[in-house]
Structure 1
């Protein structure tokens, strides 16, 4: 069993090293973000798209939803350390803005009565971005 896992990892690694760098200025992807803060573990899922301005920088936009009823949309400026046309592996960093919109239905019971409403909160955040591509 361990031998199959090792062989699979090696094959993926070899394919990663032998593929060509991306030529298109446009890319699309998926992301996930897990905040490891007790007592709950907020998990975000979403999609992102990127447009390369040149071989070292680009603009990334994203949108996502969380298991804590939060929707996030935003944009980042991304700077790639290596030239994308010459390297298949890259480390990038950047900064951006996001809007986070929280809305959850709340039900309160009191003496045979149910009162419902929504808890809402919206805010803008400045986000640093670090990643590997």
Structure 2
């Protein structure tokens, strides 16, 4: 059922024209974290299904946004950055089933929420650092 959210990826290009790439990354990561954390609490399969669909939709938008971010940020090292991204994606896909066999459903949800939350904080913090430097340069 979660796959119902995947067609949102088709709107990603339109949204990237309207919003900055980093803002889109933070929105997607925040939505992913929120849906994962909320999945820990309900006992209803219907609520978990809806939250799962929201999570998949956020990932569907996150992946093309991340690829755009890598392409813009890496400049001349674009192919290396995409290769590293692909490698890490495949490592994560390989480790995922191992973790799933060792941890409970709730533990996995919280672990991924933590990882995505850290990523969102790092992206947001990097933006704030640039804004502070820009303000300091203007005041000098």
Q: TM-score range by the shorter chain?
A: under 0.3
Question: How high is the TM-score relative to the length of structure 2?
Answer: 0.20
Find the structure with the greater CA-based Rg: 1
The structure whose RCO (Cα within 8 Å, separation 6+) is larger is 2
* Higher-helix-fraction structure: 2
Structure-1-length-normalised TM-score:
0.20
